[in-house]
């Protein structure tokens, strides 16, 4: 939100107010910021890290989100395979039931005609 030059100016004004005894509250109110933010910027100014990017997390090649996506994709593939097998089983059971029903009718027809 604040450019680096503004941060440096605010830190300098705040520190000057503290040094001359008037306090830095006027700077904080005028800029609409908290003392903790000015303290953080001041620490960065002192460390010469203000405006420099912090290094991100180390690249391990194993992004947890990507690993989880791969696990879920494998789980989905297994579930789809099971569903296909179960659908085939239900189809075979339906054919067996139809065949059994036909045989039962035939058996009844045979027993009556005897």
Cα separation, 74 vs 67, in Å, equals 11
Q: Is the pLDDT of residue 106 over 70?
A: no
Q: Is there a contact between 41 and 11 (Cβ–Cβ < 8 Å)?
A: yes
Tokens linked to 51: 């405006």
pLDDT tens string 19-42: 998 888 999 999 999 999 999 999
Per the model's pLDDT, the better-predicted residue between 64 and 89 turns out to be 89
The single-letter DSSP state of residue 53 is: P
The whole-number pLDDT of residue 79 equals 97
Q: What whole-number distance in Å separates Cα of residue 1 and Cα of residue 44?
A: 16
**Whole-structure pTM value:** 0.48
């Amino acid at each position: 939100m604040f450019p680096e030059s503004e941060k440096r100016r605010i830190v300098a004004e705040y520190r000057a107010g503290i040094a001359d005894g008037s306090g830095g509250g006027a700077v904080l109110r005028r800029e609409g910021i908290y003392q903790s933010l000015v303290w953080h910027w001041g620490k960065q100014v002192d460390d010469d890290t203000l405006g420099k990017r912090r290094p991100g997390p180390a690249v391990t090649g194993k992004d947890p989100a990507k690993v989880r996506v791969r696990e879920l994709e494998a789980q989905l593939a297994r579930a789809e395979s099971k569903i296909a097998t179960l659908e085939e089983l239900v189809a075979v059971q339906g054919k067996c039931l139809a065949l059994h029903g036909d045989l039962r009718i035939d058996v009844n027809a045979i027993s009556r005609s005897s």
